[in-house]
Chain A
């Protein structure tokens, strides 16, 4: 029923990120549109790759969130691609994959002692966020975001990026209903 209500009335007006479930490698076809990529670290050792093929250099905000109740769950993300700083030896050790030759990395360690509690009003979820971080990706190229849990904590996470909304294709809502346990409750 919710699907029809959304499609009939509200999808063009929603201030929300386009939902998508994470896969081992998640290809985002329109990275200039804001997305929220939801996933679940089941064993704590998983590492996910999100592929963002940008046609031009971009600057946009990113953040990673977890359910409010998971106080010690602090998944991190790293943005990997051309024009970013070369990883130090310590960073290379920290990362779940080797940084390809010619690429650099920016790591968001999600290590603020006090994380902001964010109430997501569309789906009514209470979350803890790493905090929004605007990043400059200075090449027209494919960047990757790697998400993992360095402390091997388990639980759900949502990686959000961008602000531009586009819900003109009603099918973009399908992942929300198909993964209600991930984006709902």
Chain B
């Protein structure tokens, strides 16, 4: 925890270096997501930023999704950190944590704001030069802001480094 906070502090205080914001420091993920506590189906796109090294070992994760279910719509917005283990290998496990606002729109009920903590265990596998297939499980615990509650998301999708994605879209 302390090392994570130190990393965050150094991130916040370090002068912005041009290289840290280079396109090769960014990846984009597009996972489909199922919420297993309160059933919803949708997508939870994410942007991953590797501020310290382009190998993607330590990532800042920002994401916003949409889930639709029989009893509610959720629009989760997340900000967190992910540590990818063995970043140069084909198969890369990862662990992450952060904050998530699930943003509930329950059927027949007003909007409900809550701030949860989330954890995640992820696995990505490089399937081509430019594409990784990713899978993640992410439990959430509500109550930092708003009432106590739970969440559990399962995600499967694809991830590409931003330069590869830009090349793909410009082709």
Contacts and interface: CB of A to CB of B under 8 A. Distances in A.
Chain B associates with chain A: yes
Interface in A107-145: 117-119, 121-126, 128
A121 B114 contact: yes
Contacts of A89: none
Given A2-B139, A2-B152, A126-B72, A119 B106 contact: yes
A119 B142 CA distance: 14
Contact of A68 (B35, B104, B107, B137): B107
A68 B106 contact: yes
Q: How large is the interface on B (under 10, 10 to 19, 20 to 34, 35 or more residues)?
A: 20 to 34
B108 interface: yes
B7 interface: no
B112 A121 contact: yes
Contact of B150 (A68, A69, A123): A123
B106 to A, nearest CB: 4
A13 interface: yes
Contacts of A184: 36-37, 39
B17 to A, nearest CB: 38
B71 A125 contact: yes
B71 A2 contact: no
A5 to B, nearest CB: 5
A167 to B, nearest CB: 12
Contacts of B37: 2, 123-124, 184
Given A2-B37, A184-B37, A15 B148 contact: yes
Given A121-B147, A124-B150, A67 B141 contact: no
Contacts of B146: 121
Contacts of A97: none
Interface string B149-166: 111100000000000000
B70 interface: yes
Given A126-B107, A126-B109, A68 B71 contact: yes
Contacts of B104: 119, 121, 124
Contacts of A123: 37-38, 149-150
Given A69-B71, A124-B35, A13 B148 contact: yes
A126 B72 CA distance: 7
A64 B157 CA distance: 40
A122 B150 contact: yes
Given A10-B141, A119-B109, A121-B147, A67 B71 contact: yes
A126 B147 contact: no
A43 B142 CA distance: 37
Contacts of A124: 35, 37-38, 71-72, 104, 149-151
B137 A1 contact: yes
Nearest to A185: B39
Given A117-B109, A119-B112, A124-B104, A14 B38 contact: no
B148 to A, nearest CB: 5
A87 B145 CA distance: 46
Interface of B: 35-39, 69-72, 104, 106-109, 112, 114, 137, 139, 141-143, 146-152
17 contacts: A1-B139, A2-B36, A2-B37, A10-B141, A13-B143, A68-B106, A68-B108, A69-B70, A69-B71, A117-B106, A119-B72, A119-B112, A124-B35, A124-B38, A124-B149, A184-B39, A185-B39
